[in-house]
Structure 1
Amino acid sequence: MLVNTSDVVTALSMAQNGSIDKFVTLYEEEIIKDNSGKPIRVKTLGQKVYADSVKSHDVVFGIGPAGTGKTFLAVTWAVTALKRGQVKRIILTRPAVEAGESLGFLPGDLKEKVDPYLRPVYDALYQILGKEQTTRLMERDIIEIAPLAYMRGRTLDDAFVILDEAQNTTIMQMKMFLTRLGFNSKMIINGDTSQIDLPKKVKSGLIDATEKLKHIKQIDFVHFSASDVVRHPVVAEIINAYEKDAERKTAHHQKEVIDSTSASGFASYETIGQPASTKEEK
Structure 2
Amino acid sequence: MSKDPIKIPAVFETIDETISVVGHHDKHLKIFEDYYNVEISLRGDQLYLFGDEKKAEIIRQVLLALVELHRKGKEITERDVLYAIKMNEQHRLGELESLFDERYKIIKTIQGKTIYAKTFNQKEYYRKIQDNDLVFGIGPAGTGKTYLAVVIGVALLKKNIVRKIILTRPVVEAGENLGFLPGDLKEKVDPYLRPLYDALYDVLGLEQTEKMIERGIIEIAPLAYMRGRTLEDAYIILDEAQNTTKQQMKMFLTRLGFNSKMVVTGDETQIDLPKPVKSGLKHAKEILSDVKGIEFVQFETVDVVRHTLVQKIIESYEKTGE
* TM-score exceeds 0.5: yes
- Three-state SS of the structure 2 residue aligned to 1:150 is helix
What is the distance in 2 between the residues matched to 1:29 and 1:131? 25
Alignment-derived partner of residue 135 in structure 1 = 210
Q: Is the 8 A contact 2:273 2:279 kept in 1?
A: yes
Alignment-derived partner of residue 21 in structure 1 = 94
User: Given the superposition, is the C-alpha separation of residues 29 and 101 from structure 1 closer, same or farther in structure 2, using an over 3 Å criterion?
Assistant: closer
Alignment-derived partner of residue 217 in structure 1 = 292
* Matches for 1:1-282 after TM superposition, within 5 Å: 2-27=75-100, 28-98=103-173, 103-246=178-321
Q: Which moved more, 1:50-59 or 1:170-179?
A: 50-59
What is the distance in 2 between the residues matched to 1:100 and 1:136? 29
In the TM superposition, what is the alpha-carbon distance from 1:16 to its structure 2 partner? 3.1
User: Given the superposition, is the C-alpha separation of residues 127 and 25 from structure 1 closer, same or farther in structure 2, using an over 3 Å criterion?
Assistant: farther
Q: Is the 8 A contact 1:168 1:204 kept in 2?
A: yes
In the TM superposition, what is the alpha-carbon distance from 1:182 to its structure 2 partner? 0.4
What is the distance in 2 between the residues matched to 1:102 and 1:243? 32
In the TM superposition, what is the alpha-carbon distance from 1:135 to its structure 2 partner? 0.7
Amino acid in the other structure paired with 1:132: E
Q: Which has the larger radius of gyration?
A: 1
TM-score of the pair, normalised by structure 1 = 0.83
In the TM superposition, what is the alpha-carbon distance from 1:100 to its structure 2 partner? 6.3
In the TM superposition, what is the alpha-carbon distance from 1:198 to its structure 2 partner? 0.5
- Three-state SS of the structure 1 residue aligned to 2:123 is helix
Amino acid in the other structure paired with 2:193: L
> Among the aligned pairs, what percent are the same residue?
61
Q: Is the 8 A contact 1:98 1:198 kept in 2?
A: no
Q: Is the 8 A contact 1:62 1:191 kept in 2?
A: yes
What is the distance in 2 between the residues matched to 1:137 and 1:101? 25
Unaligned stretches of 5+ in structure 2?
Answer: 1-73
What is the distance in 2 between the residues matched to 1:180 and 1:102? 19
Amino acid in the other structure paired with 2:216: D
Q: Is the 8 A contact 1:98 1:168 kept in 2?
A: no
User: Given the superposition, is the C-alpha separation of residues 103 and 25 from structure 1 closer, same or farther in structure 2, using an over 3 Å criterion?
Assistant: farther
What is the distance in 2 between the residues matched to 1:24 and 1:229? 19
What is the distance in 1 between the residues matched to 2:198 and 2:99? 23
Unaligned stretches of 5+ in structure 1?
Answer: 248-282
Q: Is the 8 A contact 2:137 2:297 kept in 1?
A: yes
Q: Is the 8 A contact 1:68 1:230 kept in 2?
A: yes
Alignment RMSD (CA, Å) = 1.6
In the TM superposition, what is the alpha-carbon distance from 1:245 to its structure 2 partner? 1.0
- Three-state SS of the structure 2 residue aligned to 1:3 is coil
Q: Is the 8 A contact 1:44 1:228 kept in 2?
A: yes
What is the distance in 2 between the residues matched to 1:145 and 1:25? 37
Q: Is the 8 A contact 1:99 1:197 kept in 2?
A: no
What is the distance in 2 between the residues matched to 1:38 and 1:48? 18
Q: Which moved more, 1:59-68 or 1:232-241?
A: 232-241
Alignment-derived partner of residue 265 in structure 1 = none
What is the distance in 2 between the residues matched to 1:214 and 1:246? 24
Amino acid in the other structure paired with 1:115: D
Number of aligned residue pairs? 247
User: Given the superposition, is the C-alpha separation of residues 239 and 100 from structure 1 closer, same or farther in structure 2, using an over 3 Å criterion?
Assistant: farther
Amino acid in the other structure paired with 2:161: Q
Amino acid in the other structure paired with 2:259: N
- Three-state SS of the structure 2 residue aligned to 1:87 is coil
